[in-house]
Amino acid sequence: TYDDPASMVTELWRTPAAHRGAVLGAAVTPSSGWVFSCGEDGSCAVWRATGGVVRTAPSRRWELDCKSADRVHFYEEAKGGGGEGVGSRVRHSFAVVQALACEPDADSTCFAAAVGASVFLLDRTESAPRARLPAGRVVTALAYIGARRCLCASGYGGVRVWADYGHGPAALLEYKGPLDTLAVSPDARYAASGAQDSTLVLWPLGGDAADGVGDVATGVADGPAVSLQAADGTSADDGA
């Protein structure tokens, strides 16, 4: 049966300035009890959601710092009606948090956030990041493979995969070019990413998801990435 999406919304709720600047990412835990957010102000926040109502202040906030190469710098005119600083420029420097994802396990308190070419592992119960993973290139999207306990990050050159939710060895599913989006099939058999060359890129992950990380831990898929041309509005299966 068809459900009108508008009928599913019982109340429109907004936070009072969740971040200083645009909110670039949001994720909800599988139990729907917590909402994570990240923004261009270089911070992540976690919000408690109970009974369909989100608290007006975050339960915890993290200001993520990283290498200078991952930071964004801009200048603005100093404010003030007179005295020192009038007419001068103020330099701002921060690390934009461009993507995040929360672990798919229902009882997990952990999530990951991407800043430049780094991925931070965080826990909503702890005030400091647990680890920083070097991704090599700027990360554009994050996704977890729950059935295989892997963390994936897309960017230029392919998708980097860490075993044990980021605490294990890393492998690279290679692609010659920049990737902007990332998703994993629920059965953990495919990873999909959108490329800037107008194609959708698929990796058959191989193995049995019940066997854990399987071939993904060593960076081996069942075959090379399959690129589906979508610029003309047709799929690779048209005419088959």
Query: What b/e readout covers 115-131, taking b as 16+ CB neighbours within 10 angstroms?
Result: bbbbbbbbbbeeeebee
Provide the residue-wise pLDDT of the chain in tens; the chain has 240 residues: 456 666 666 666 777 778 888 888 998 888 768 889 998 888 899 988 776 566 667 888 888 866 554 555 555 565 654 444 445 666 555 578 889 999 988 888 999 999 888 999 999 999 999 999 999 888 999 999 888 889 999 999 999 999 999 998 888 888 888 999 999 988 888 889 999 989 999 888 765 544 444 444 444 455 556 666 544 544 444 443
